Amino acid sequence: MPPYSPWVESLRRRLKRAGLVANDNMFGLAWSGKMVETRFLELIPHLPDGVNEIYCHPGTRSTPALAAAMPGYRHREELAALLSPSVKSRIVELGIRLVTYNDFRDPANQNLISGR
């Protein structure tokens, strides 16, 4: 168990008490700036049940300030991964439902939220 797990669980309880939705899992932080198509294709078949968030920073261009703040980030490749027909096809094939946090405002979607 990661050393920050107690803090995350405490925060999760506070969010739930406040009526806010939080993801069950988050992927991509360890590959920050490198969530490219091959990484998505390797990851998505292994996503656990629940609300999963994939962390990335897609972009269409870089600036000197952005490159200095985020050295080595592959913004364009992350955007290409999100738009990839191969990734989309695999998501459909696996029956993964893509949602936004706004989807959880609809009472009909409350079954998506873990622990409820």
pLDDT digits (tens, 9 = 90+) for 65-101: 989 999 999 999 999 999 999 999 999 999 999 988 8
In a domain, 11, yes or no: no
Measure the CA–CA gap between 60 and 91, rounded to whole angstroms.
23
9 in a structural domain: no
The kind and range of the H/E element at 52 are: strand 52-54
| pTM, entire model | 0.80
Domain assignment of residue 8, yes or no: no
Name which residue leads in pLDDT, 56 or 110. Answer: 56
Q: Is residue 15 part of a domain?
A: no
Mean pLDDT taken over the chain:
88
Q: Confirm whether 1 is domain-assigned.
A: no
Containing structural domain, residue 101: 23-112
Output phi, psi for 101, to 5 deg: -65, -25
Count the domains in the chain.
Answer: 1
Cα 110 → chain centroid: 19
In a domain, 10, yes or no: no
Residue 18 in any domain: the answer is no
Distance CA 25, CA 42 (A): 16
Look at residue 57 and tell me if it is in a domain.
Answer: yes
φ, ψ of residue 33 to 5 degrees: the values are 85, 0
The DSSP 8-state label assigned to residue 115 in this structure reads T
User: Does residue 115 have a pLDDT over 50?
Assistant: no
User: In the structure, what pLDDT confidence band is assigned to residue 116 with cuts at 50, 70 and 90?
Assistant: very low
